[in-house]
Each structure stands twice: as C-alpha cells, then as structure tokens.
Chain A
Amino acid sequence: MSSPLLGIEGGGQANASMESGFPKNPTFTERNYLGLSDCSSVDSSNVPSPCLNLKATELRLGLPGSQSPDRDPESSLTSSEKLDEKPLFPLLPSIDGICSSSTKTVVSGHKRIFTDAMDSCSEIKGLSDGSWLSAASGSDSDPSKSVIQGKFSTNSNVKGNVSSGDQVAKGVTTNLNKVNASNPPAAKAQVVGWPPVRSFRKNILATSSKNNDEVDKKPCSAALFVKVSMDGAPYLRKVDLRGYSSYQQLSSALEKMFTCFTIGQCGSQGGPGKGNLSESKLRDLLHGSGYVLTYEDKDGDWMLVGDVPWDMFIGSCKRLKIMKGSDAIGLAPGATEKSKNRS
C-alpha cells in the first residue's frame, strides 16, 4: 500500500519558498493521519521529506507562462512579469507529453491578472514520493501520455467511466484515467449524467419541441429516459433510448445491466445474456423459460419489443419490462399488427 507521502518543502533543492503570503499550509505537508508514512512525526508541518532530491521528480506549480521542465528555481516568484521558462503544470516532468500539451494552452497575455495569487502561492512542492513517480514514469508513461493528451483535446468523447484497471502497473496507486480510446469519435458521445440536467427536463423538451411549430424542427436529439423493470429484480433501472440506434444495442446494454438473468429472443436479434451475480438465481432461470423484452406503449398496451422499426419504437415506448417468456404469451406481437387492426 503506498503511503500518503505528500512531499514537503525543503527536500533537496531549497526551492524557494513557501511564501508567507499563502494563507494556510502552503506545503503539501505530510499529515500522517493514518500512521502510514515512514516519518515518525505526527501533526507535522515542515517536516523534511526523505531525500528525494532529483529535480526530475519534483512537482511544482510554476508561474504561468513557463515553458519547460528545466527551470531555474530562483526566478520563479519574483514577479509575474517574468514569464520565464517554467512549466505551468509540471505534474510529471519526466512525461514530456503532459508538459507540452498543457503549455499549449497557456497564452502569456492573461498572466498578470492574479498577481497576488501568483506571488503567494506559485511555488508549491508537489508529490515527491519517488516510488510513485518512478513507477509512473516507467512503463506507463506512454499510455499515460496519450491518455492525458486525449483528455486535453476538446470534443473528447470521454465515456466518463474508468474501466477496470487492466493496464495499471502494479503498485501504482494513482492510475491515470484510462480513457476509452477505442471509441471511435462519435458525432456526439453521450456521457452518463452530463450535462447535469434532470431526466424529466430532458424528456419534456423532447416532446414539446416536437409539438411546437414555432421552434425549428431538427432531429430531436434530447435524451429519452425510460424505466426498465425486470420480474424478480429488486430494483429498476433507467435507460436513455436515444443512446441506442438499434434493438441490438439496446438489448446488449440491458443484458449488461441485468446480467444475472437471461434475456431471450427479442425481435430480429437475440442472444442469451451472460454473467451472473447469483449462481442460484441463474440456475433457476435457466430451468424455466427465457426472458423476453416487452414495452408499454403510449396507449398503455404491453407489446413485444422488436417488431416495429426502431424509430417507431422509441417514439411510442413509455417503459420497458423484462418478462418471463411464459408470462409474455398472448402479448401483442407488435405495433404493426395493432395499427393494421385499427385502420
């Protein structure tokens, strides 16, 4: 288990300074609340760190406008006019990609605005836990580089989920977020829960912009959340139907959500679910009939999913239910049948 050594000022190069202007705890001081650090002192402030004095492993927030990791410590704080060669965000100086990508975003013009803030708190010793840095700068530096750069680009299609850490080097506790870089840059990859607008608000706008002639009609891309319940599951879930463009996608997403149960044939595709959270439950289900996906349409009728074109389906689906196949007998085979009967 790594220690929470948050390195302290004073290590190695007396790097100037924790300015007194910085109100509290200018250092990333070691607190040692958990008794995990090797240092013996508790409630320490300004405890000298172990001698990890390699410049390359220092983390500092330099003055903005600084360009390169090779900096001259003395010139850092004197004034903000000196836009000298200091890294702005030299997090892991050995990983050049990070520095270069971050400094790309730095433009000199605006640096003078917060002279107070900068003067007082620009020099902060960062993490100088050598083991953490050397591990990170070791095998992982390349993937991490691309990860960070990926994050800094706009229109990044971050899924917002940290995948299971199969690329994580052993012992490194601070893993760089593994962006799901295998996703092709979608037109608009939807991130779960972003932007932070409540579901009912999204649904309402979807319907009202359809109804209202005043508003320009464009293919409505607002989210459409419907509840999904499952016989026997203790709680229900919600899915955004607009996040899928076919029954196949919806079905596999639901499979993942309700992995302890099998999902039976559903329209033009199917395939048994997999995975099990509970062995006995799965066994029970496999004995009985498979599950089918049904939905409640705008008229309140329950129909089998899969018989109508996808767009028609999402236009009329109010909610979904994963039923036992045996219960679903007698359900209307599809909306097309229904509309045939009506007209």
Chain B
Amino acid sequence: MFPEEVLEHVFSFLNSHTDRNTASLVCKSWYEMERWCRKRVFIGNCYAVNPRVVIRRFPEVKSVELKGKPHFADFNLVPEGWGGYVYPWIVEIARAYPWLEEIRLKRMVVTDECLEIVAKSFRNFRVLVLESCEGFSTDGLAAVAANCRNLRVLDLRECEVEELSGHWLSHFPDSFTSLESLNMACLGSEVSFSALERLVARSPNLKTLRLNRTVPIEKLSTLLQRAPQLVDFGTGAYSAEIRQDVYSRLADAFSRSKNLKSLSGFWDVTPAYLPAIYSVCSQLTSLNLSYAATRSPDLTKIVSQCYNLQRLVVLDYIEDTGLNTVSMSCKDLRELVVFPSDPFVGEVDVLLTEQGLVSVSQGCSKLQSVLYFCHQMSNSALISISKNRPNLTCFRLCIIEPRVPDYVTHEPLDVGFGSIVENCKQLTRLSMSGLLTDRVFEYIGTHAKNLDMLSIAFAGDSDLGLHHVLSGCDSLRKLEIRDCPFGDKALLANASKLEKMRSLWMSSCLVSFGACKLLGQKMPGLNVEVIDERENVNSLPEYVPVEKVYIYRTVSGQRFDTPDFVRIMGKDKDDLYNLS
C-alpha cells in the first residue's frame, strides 16, 4: 500500500477525466485519495448530476467545466426557455470553492447576476470561457472586468450578448495587467478604442486578442504594434477605402508580428487589403477566413503561402481549385472546415464540389478532422477519401439538400459512408447527410466501434437503422437524430444502452408519447424529456409521435426548472404526464 503522498504524486500525472474516473474505481482508498486531489471537474450534461453531489465528492476543485443544452440547440431546434441555467451551479460553487480559478461553460444560460457572483466570489479567479452561451449583457461583463483582479482569460465564443454599452471594457482598472487572452469577437457594440489600446499596452502577457467587427482596419496596426508578442489575433471588419498609408502600416505591423500563429476575423473583407497578411502566412498554424466573402483567387493566394497551416476554416468561395492548392501547399493540415456561403440558394454558384475534399484528403497526410458543406457527393469520392485518410477521427459531411443521392449513380450514399467507417478505424465523430438507407447504419453498427458521437438527419428507413447503431456502436455516447423514421421499437429494445450514453436526441421521428412514458417509468436512471410545443399536446393519444425527445442519463433525478413545453415522462406515480 503506497503512502498517500506517493499516490497523490502519481495521480498528479493523470490529467484526463476518464483516467481519473477509472483510477477512482480501483478501490476505496484510491477513490478517497483521488477525490481529494482532483482539481478539474468536467460535467458534460449539467442535468446529469447535482452541484451539491459534485461538491461533496470533490472538495478541492479549482476548475469547473459544464455543458448545458443539447448540440442541436445551435440550429434552433431547442426552443428558448428549455433550460441549461447555470445559476444554481454558480451559487453552490461560489459557496464551496472560494479559491476557484476557472469556469468554462458551453450552451448555458448565464445571467448578469451569475457573472456578478463570479466576479465577487473568487479571489483568484483567472479563466472565464463562455461558449455559445446567452442570457447576459455587457453589464455582466463590466462586473467581471471591474472585480476580477487576476483575470487571465476572458473568452466569449459565439455568445449572444445583450449589448447595452461598449463601456464594459473600460471597467478593467488601470492596475489590471494580467490579461493573457481576450476574445470579444461575438460582440456587436463598439468599445472605446483608447481603452482597448491602453488595456493591450499594459498587458505584457497578452497572447490572444480577438477583436469584434467594430474595430476598424485602420486601428489594427496600432494594436499589433502594442502587442508584438501576440500569438492569436482576430481582426475586426477588414474593409476600408483603399489607402496606401493604411495598407503600408498594416503590412508593416503584420511583418513585425513574429509570434503570430493564428489569424481570424476578416469580416467584410476588402480584398485589396488581404496581401497585408502575406508576410505572416508561413508562420500560421491556424487560419479562419470563414467570414471573408471574397472569391477563390484571393483565398488561394493566401493559402498557397501557408506552409505550416494545421487548421483552415474557410467559405466555399475557396472552390475546388483553392482546395487543390491547399492539398499541395499545406502539408501539415490537420483540420479542414468549409462553410457554405449561401446555404439556401437553389442554383449553385460556387464551384466547390466533392473534388475539393478528395484532393485535400490525397495531399494532406495528417488530415484528421473534416467539416464540409457542399452540394453534391458520390460514393466513389467517399471511398477515395476513406482510403486516402484512414487516420480520420472526425468526419462531418453536410450535403445541403436533404436526401440527395450519389450524383453520378443516383444510389444512396450508404456504401460511401460505410467505407468511411470501415477504413477510418479511429473515427470518433461522424455526421452524415444525403440519401441514406438502413444499410448505412448496418455498416456503422458493424464497424464504427470507436464512434463517440453520431449525427443523423433525413436518413434511414425503419427502426432497424436505429437498432444497428444502438446495438453495434460500443463507444457511442452522444447520438442526435432528426427527421428519421425511427420509432419505439428500436428505442425500447435498446433501453439499457441509453444508460451507457450521455444523451440521445430525436426530433421529427416516430417515437410516441407512450414509448417515452414507458421508458421514463422503467429507467430511473434516465430523464426522458419530451419537448413539444403543440397546443393540444395534452389531449394527444399515446401512440402519436412526439415532436422532440431528449433522453439523458442522470443521477440527480428529474429537474424542476422545465418550461411548460417540456415534460419529463414517466416519473409521476400516477402515470399522468408530468406537468411541471
């Protein structure tokens, strides 16, 4: 038996949550030892556990990470008011962890009051990351700025912030010099530029600065000059009348930014200003041009110089030719994201096809992660991609029109996606689109043994499809499905699998009220939430399919913060629908 100090030292090398969780299962003394020295807690579903239970088990936590709404909330499928409120957590951890340093939240509702509590409760608070959160305003940010003396990171990624004023930034006191990372790209309001400049000037450790759209291009050179140590820079709106002096200053400032590795921003691009970044292209490991609505030649010129690029996010304006250049120039590429420039247009104006992705898969041997929007795909292209890149870990393909078959053969894309899961044995994340039958799910159930997250839309023919996935995918933890003809049978037959997963989302499928109630009754470890906004929902018979159902495992029982369009099924003793 090792003395505690030795165990503690050994555990300090265990950083991943899964490793720590596993270690805590070995025996009672390891459990005790581990829980006292765990510093970082990650809770993938805020409703899976109670904050008090977490606090009781882990008394010495310095960092809390929480996720709230299901992923499809990003696409407006989860009605406002569903939940994901962080307030109860903030109140508890403010009381229990006065020395907390980090809070990371994703898809949660954060109010100004929460931010005020955070600002005032933690003496050594350092890191606040809010990703895809909403519910707060610039007043809350002002409270954080004013009170968090040791703040290092303020990262607002893609949040929806109520913009009351741009003055929040001025609330950072003059004595505040510890800032390392500031991401305000999602904000729309103008901040005082002089306050911003002074903040940058007195932050010698500032490595990440992502501005918002209101910072004009003329001011960028000033900021870059103030912070030559910057590693990650996001511009504001990258447009202005073409003026030689502005251009030269900008180009000069970029050329002096020897540490710059990541560039983003570029809203409203004036293409003539793009060459200003050429001098840093060869340093870049990450480049996000996904707001740059400019055509392929401009984009191609840039990427052709990015020899060290590992991550590229771009619009489909890059076209197949641009991606071909990527495949030849960016030999270190690990991640490719191509967003659609105009997701709703009927006729396709942009020459981005499956070919672009195939070339990148051929030329970039380290490519692991793909998110690709396009209008056509073929089985042979998917097969080529899978054979070129068996090392893919994340493959998300969105063919914009639902249920589109292989454009060459008019077959379903079953075989193509089947090839992906068969050849890419380390695949952990997959999103599919196009015309797909139950067959593709058979392939997935057979081969995708490492798949952790699967997203399905407008696919399949019957419950068999869902059954293949639930019974075959051993590592599956997150499954999200919309508009598929999957119903009660596969769900009920695989009920125990649901307890091994974090969550299952099904919307516009064929799961009935009755099945949801049954599942909720029989599985105390699951919350079966029916999300249904129809007026007459209480009078619908039990065999009618629900609009949406969200099923997740939990040790904290049903929640009580639900709006009236959410019902937690099967928990009532008298078998009525739960009208909370």
Contact = CB atoms under 8 A, between A and B. Distances in A.
Interface in A260-314: 275, 277
A113 B415 contact: yes
Contact of B268 (A192, A193, A212): A212
A162 B534 CA distance: 11
How big is chain A's contact interface, by range?
35 or more
Given A151-B403, A211-B268, A196 B75 contact: yes
A78 interface: no
Contacts of A329: none
B32 interface: no
A91 B461 contact: yes
How big is chain B's contact interface, by range?
35 or more
A279 B483 CA distance: 33
B493 A31 contact: yes
Nearest to A37: B493
Contact of A105 (B343, B346, B412, B446): B412
Given A154-B405, A162-B547, A117 B373 contact: no
Interface string B261-282: 0000001110100000000000
Contacts of B495: 31, 33-34
B294 interface: yes
B435 A105 contact: yes
Given A31-B496, A105-B410, A154-B405, A174 B463 contact: yes
A160 B239 CA distance: 39
A6 interface: yes
Interface stretch (A10-18, A67-75, A201-209, A320-328): A201-209
Contacts of B519: 34
Contact of A175 (B290, B409, B543): B543
A34 B543 contact: no
B293 A208 contact: yes
B422 A114 contact: yes
Given A34-B522, A193-B75, A114 B418 contact: yes
Interface string A187-224: 11011111111111110110111011011101011110
Interface string B60-77: 000000000000101111
B344 interface: yes
Contacts of B544: 164-165, 168, 175
Contacts of A160: 482-483, 508
Q: Is the interface of A mostly helix, strand, loop or mixed?
A: loop
A121 B441 CA distance: 12
Contact of B462 (A30, A126, A225): A126
Contacts of A64: 439
B510 A176 contact: yes
Contacts of B489: 2, 4-6, 127, 129, 132, 173-174
Contacts of A236: 80
A165 to B, nearest CB: 4
23 contacts: A2-B488, A23-B446, A31-B493, A31-B495, A33-B522, A107-B411, A110-B415, A117-B422, A151-B485, A160-B508, A174-B488, A174-B510, A175-B510, A194-B402, A195-B343, A198-B158, A202-B343, A204-B291, A208-B291, A209-B293, A238-B76, A275-B535, A277-B535
Closest 9 CB pairs of A and B: A235-B81, A193-B75, A165-B544, A174-B487, A4-B492, A235-B80, A208-B293, A4-B493, A193-B77
Interface of A: 1-2, 4-6, 22-25, 28, 30-31, 33-36, 59, 61, 64, 88-89, 91, 98, 102, 105-107, 109-110, 113-114, 117, 120-121, 124, 126-127, 129, 132, 148, 151-156, 158, 160-162, 164-165, 168, 170-177, 187-188, 190-202, 204-205, 207-209, 211-212, 214-216, 218, 220-223, 225, 234-238, 242, 259, 275, 277
